[in-house]
Amino acid sequence: MKTRDILFIGFTLFALFFGAGNLIYPVSLGMEAGTSYFAAIAGFVLTGVGIPVITVAGISLVRNGAVELAGRVHPLFGILFTSVIYLAIGPFFGIPRAANVAYEIGVSPWLSHPSSGTLLLFTLVFFAVVFWVSLNPSKLVDRIGQWLTPALFLAIVGLVVGSFFFLDGQIQPPEEKYQTQPFFTGFIEGYLTMDAIAALAFGILVVHSFRSRGVENEKTLTIKTLQAGLVTAAGLTGVYVSIGWIGAKMASEGTYANGSAILAAASKLMYGEVGTLLLGIIVGLACFTTCVGLTVACGQFFSERVKFLSYKTVVTLITLLSFGVANIGLNQIIAYSVPVLVFVYPIAIVLVILTFTGGLFHHSKYVYRGAIFFTAILSLYDGLKALGADVTFAEPWVSQLPLFSLNLGWMAPALVGVLLGGLYHLIKSAASASEGYQG
Q: What is the DSSP string of 90-149?
A: TTTTHHHHHHHHHHHHHTGGG-SS--HHHHHHHHHHHHHHHHHHHT-GGGHIIIIIIIIH
Q: Is the pLDDT of residue 147 over 70?
A: no
Identify the top-confidence range among 65-74, 309-318, 377-386.
Answer: 309-318
Looking at residue 20, its pLDDT comes to: 66
Looking at residue 419, its pLDDT comes to: 94
Looking at residue 366, its pLDDT comes to: 94
Q: Is the pLDDT of residue 65 over 80?
A: no
Looking at residue 234, its pLDDT comes to: 92
Phi, psi values for residue 262, rounded to 5°: -65, -50
Looking at residue 323, its pLDDT comes to: 95
Contact 182, 44 (CB under 8 A): no
Identify the residue with better confidence: 83 or 18. Answer: 83
pLDDT category of residue 417 using cuts at 50, 70 and 90: very high
Distance in angstroms (rounded) separating the CA atoms of residues 175 and 13: 33
Phi, psi values for residue 395, rounded to 5°: -60, -40
Torsion of CA 289, 294, 297, 299, to 10 degrees: -110
In this structure, the number of other CB atoms found within 10 A of the CB of residue 308 comes to 6
Report the SS3 class of residue 19: coil
pLDDT tens sequence across 174-198: 998 898 889 988 988 887 788 888 8
pLDDT category of residue 143 using cuts at 50, 70 and 90: low
Identify the top-confidence range among 32-41, 138-147, 255-264, 339-348.
Answer: 32-41
Mean pLDDT of 127-148: 72
pLDDT category of residue 413 using cuts at 50, 70 and 90: very high
Looking at residue 436, its pLDDT comes to: 59
Instruction: Check residue 253 and report its DSSP letter.
Output: G
Identify the top-confidence range among 128-137, 255-264, 279-288.
Answer: 128-137
Q: List the chain domain ranges.
A: 3-328, 332-439
Q: What is the b/e burial string over 203-231, where b = at least 16 CB atoms within 10 angstroms of the residue's CB?
A: bbbbbbbbeeeebeeeeebbebbebbbeb
**Predicted TM-score (pTM) of this structure:** 0.80
pLDDT category of residue 316 using cuts at 50, 70 and 90: very high
Range name among 47-61, 135-149, 217-231 with the lowest pLDDT average: 135-149
**From the candidate CATH numbers 2.40.50.100, 1.10.150.530, 3.80.30.20, 1.20.1740.10, the one assigned to the domain spanning 3-328:** 1.20.1740.10
pLDDT category of residue 2 using cuts at 50, 70 and 90: confident
How does the average pLDDT of the chain come out, rounded?
85
Looking at residue 251, its pLDDT comes to: 84
Q: What is the b/e burial string over 410-431, where b = at least 16 CB atoms within 10 angstroms of the residue's CB?
A: bbbbbbebbebbbeebeeeeee
Range name among 89-93, 133-137, 390-394, 418-422 with the lowest pLDDT average: 133-137
Mean pLDDT of 394-421: 88
Q: Is the pLDDT of residue 418 over 90?
A: yes
Nearest to 18 by CA among 139, 108, 144: 144
SS3 content of the chain, % helix, strand, coil (to 5): 80, 0, 20
Looking at residue 324, its pLDDT comes to: 93
pLDDT category of residue 290 using cuts at 50, 70 and 90: confident
Q: Is the pLDDT of residue 257 over 90?
A: no
Distance in angstroms (rounded) separating the CA atoms of residues 122 and 120: 6
Mean pLDDT of 101-123: 83
Contact 327, 49 (CB under 8 A): no
Mean pLDDT of 317-322: 96
Q: 123: buried, middle or exposed (CB in 10 Å: 19+, 13-18, 0-12)?
A: buried
In this structure, the number of other CB atoms found within 10 A of the CB of residue 118 comes to 14
Contact 10, 227 (CB under 8 A): yes
Looking at residue 26, its pLDDT comes to: 92
pLDDT tens sequence across 19-45: 767 877 898 899 999 999 999 999 999
Distance in angstroms (rounded) separating the CA atoms of residues 283 and 139: 22
